[in-house]
Homo-oligomer: A and B are copies of this chain.
Amino acid sequence: MKASIITIGDEILIGQIVDSNSAYIAEQLNSIGVKVIKMLSVGDDRLAIINALDEASVGADVLIVTGGLGPTNDDITKNALAEFTGAGGWRIDEPSLEIIRQITTQRGLPMNRQNRDQARVPDNCETLLNRLGTAPGLWFDRVRTSIISLPGVPFEMQALMKDVVQRLQTSLRLPPVFHRTIATCGMPESVLAEHIAAWEHALPSGIRLAYLPNPLTGVRLRLSVYRPDATTEVLVAKAIDDLRAILGDVIYGEGDDTLASVVGRLLRQRHATVAVAESCTGGKIASLLTSVAGSSAYFKGGVVAYDNAVKTDLLQVCASDILTYGAVSLPVVEQMAEGVRRLLKTDYAVATSGIAGPDGGTAQKPVGTVCIAVATTQGATSRTGQFTNDRLRNIDRSAATALNMLRLKVINDESKPRFR
């Protein structure tokens, strides 16, 4: 089964926004075995949209369209869809109208004609109820190419794509594709590929492997079976067990796990707590940890110690060590970690101190030099990383490395056993 994607909006064509909707939709379709053959972006213009519908239909069983933002643009898209699909007329979709009523009331807005019109849909389509916004999804079931139109607001589109994926699987009797994704950190893609080459070669023929590298957090490995049967689950589980035996703690999680969510889970399992002391990462590690819902159970807080006075006064870093070794040094970053651990009375702490750039580098410590420490009740360990020339990438990579060091420390810490 094949699909094309059209995104509509002047704001895309002037480069004002990056079209991330297409990638999301493609990833969702791909996960159920639907192959995307083309993506197309055009402006808010009747003729351009109709031409795009025509072009994108070629060879596609399904065509997913996401509209521009706002009632005005939605209208152009809707009219073009009605014209292209040969709708006989229009109808008011009552369930959608009811949601529009609720939303306008909630926002304290009057129910004007523009709002009401969003419930007006071509009479040859079904609607997909949009509970998060005022524009419903439209599903035109057609002999050759079915067309599905979704709102352009990403979180509304994403919610509706869940329904679309389910309905495509059911109505088109797609076999449910079986996926498992393994997340790794700390091994570059080329090294990883070499390391698991024999394992990959020995994979049962029905299991397909995809490398999904992310420059920041590492490589994800996706195992897919497009025609699963009774043995699939066991076969894939066996393959993953073998992979774990090879990669060990290079694997940090599965599915949508992030380093921060995995660290959180590990701490929870051990009834343990963590604090951070950040210099060069400037709050990034805390921000990643607290992006996880429920993180207050294990994250007590932290100190952003940008100024050296904060390192000495608050974290009890020895001032003479800063003079002797520099603020970016292993002794200092270890004291930062130990200092914040004592200050906030936690089981673990991580600390960073580095030269994010663009200025501040020296011959001995060029831009991208970052010291990272992890402290436990048993003391601190630390290492120096050498990253890039780019400030924001240095911050991101330092934060990811720090979280991974914390993860490994928690896993291997015999003094804090996991509760069951």
A77 sits at the interface (CB 8 A): no
> Which residues of chain B have C-beta atoms less than 8 A from A14's C-beta?
26-27, 30, 36, 210
Q: In the complex, what residue of chain B is closest to A41 when comparing beta carbons?
A: B39
A310 sits at the interface (CB 8 A): yes
Q: Is the CB of B314 within 8 A of A343?
A: yes
> Which residues of chain B have C-beta atoms less than 8 A from A344's C-beta?
307, 309-310, 314
CB contact list, A25-56 vs B, under 8 A:
25-30, 35-43, 48, 52, 55
Q: Is the CB of B13 within 8 A of A36?
A: yes
Q: In the complex, what residue of chain B is closest to A299 when comparing beta carbons?
A: B306
Q: Is the CB of B39 within 8 A of A12?
A: yes
A97 sits at the interface (CB 8 A): no
Central interface residue in A20, A25, A282, A289, by most chain B CB within 10 Å:
A282
> Which residues of chain B have C-beta atoms less than 8 A from A43's C-beta?
37
CB contact list, A297-312 vs B, under 8 A:
299-307, 309-310
Binds B, one of A88-96, A226-234, A388-396: A388-396
Q: Which of B19, B306, B310 is A290 in contact with, Cβ under 8 Å? A: B306
Q: Is the CB of A293 within 8 A of B358?
A: yes
CB contact list, A307-353 vs B, under 8 A:
307, 309-310, 314, 343-345
For residue A245, give the distance in angstroms from its CB to the closest CB of chain B.
27
Query: In the complex, A327→B41 CA distance in Å?
Result: 47
Q: Is the CB of B38 within 8 A of A27?
A: no
Central interface residue in A283, A300, A358, by most chain B CB within 10 Å:
A283
Q: Is the CB of A294 within 8 A of B359?
A: yes
Q: Is the CB of A306 within 8 A of B310?
A: no
Q: Is the CB of B304 within 8 A of A303?
A: yes
Given A300-B310, A301-B307, also A155-B390 (CB < 8 A): yes
Q: Is the CB of A39 within 8 A of B13?
A: yes
Q: Is the CB of B304 within 8 A of A302?
A: yes
> Which residues of chain B have C-beta atoms less than 8 A from A12's C-beta?
23, 26, 39
> Which residues of chain B have C-beta atoms less than 8 A from A302's C-beta?
283, 303-304
A24 sits at the interface (CB 8 A): yes
Write out, one digit per residue, whether chain A residues 278-299 have a CB within 8 A of any chain B CB (1) or not (0).
Answer: 1001111111011101111001
Query: In the complex, A52→B4 CA distance in Å?
Result: 13
A212 sits at the interface (CB 8 A): yes
Q: Is the CB of B19 within 8 A of A19?
A: yes
A22 sits at the interface (CB 8 A): yes
A276 sits at the interface (CB 8 A): yes
For residue A45, give the distance in angstroms from its CB to the closest CB of chain B.
9
Write out, one digit per residue, whether chain A residues 1-23 have a CB within 8 A of any chain B CB (1) or not (0).
Answer: 00000000001111111111011
Given A285-B283, A307-B344, A391-B291, also A37-B15 (CB < 8 A): no
Query: In the complex, A209→B358 CA distance in Å?
Result: 35
Query: In the complex, A318→B1 CA distance in Å?
Result: 64
Query: In the complex, A359→B294 CA distance in Å?
Result: 8
> Which residues of chain B have C-beta atoms less than 8 A from A306's C-beta?
290, 295-296, 299-301
Write out, one digit per residue, whether chain A residues 208-251 have a CB within 8 A of any chain B CB (1) or not (0).
Answer: 00101000000000000000000000000000000000000000
Sampled A-B contacts (17; CB under 8 Å): A14-B36, A15-B25, A15-B28, A37-B43, A38-B48, A55-B55, A282-B290, A286-B286, A286-B287, A287-B395, A293-B391, A300-B306, A301-B304, A301-B307, A301-B314, A304-B304, A314-B314
Top 4 nearest A-B pairs by Cβ distance? A282-B290, A283-B286, A15-B27, A15-B26
A sample of 13 more A-B contacts (CB under 8 A), given A18-B19, A282-B286, A314-B344, is A12-B39, A13-B38, A15-B25, A15-B30, A155-B390, A282-B299, A287-B287, A290-B304, A290-B395, A293-B358, A303-B303, A307-B344, A314-B343
